[in-house]
Amino acid sequence: MLILTRKPEESIMVGDDIEIKVLGIQENQVRLGITAPKHVSIHRREIYLTIQEENSEAAATPSLSVLADLFQAKPE
C-alpha cells in the first residue's frame, strides 16, 4: 500500500487522468474531490462490495428446473 500525506487543497494523480484532491479535514473525516473520465466508476467501498455481491448473485447459474420451465413456457 502506498501511503501519501496531503494537506487541504493538495491532490494526487492516478495515472494521467484521475485526480484525487483533499477538500477539507474535520474531526475524523476527510472530504475528497475526484476528477475522472465519465467511463470510470467511482464508489465508496461498501457500495462497491454490495454491487459486486448483487452481480455475483444475478450471474449465478439457475437450477435446471428453472431452465426447463423457461423452455416449456408458451409464447403469447
pLDDT in tens, 11-21: 999 999 999 99
Cα 1 to Cα 17: distance, rounded to the nearest angstrom: 21
**What would you report as the CA-atom Rg of the chain, rounded to the nearest whole angstrom?**
22
pLDDT of 36 above 90: yes
* 32 Cβ contact list (under 8 Å, min separation 6): 20, 21, 22, 23
Query: Looking up cell 485526480, which residue turns up?
Result: 19
pLDDT of 71 reads 76
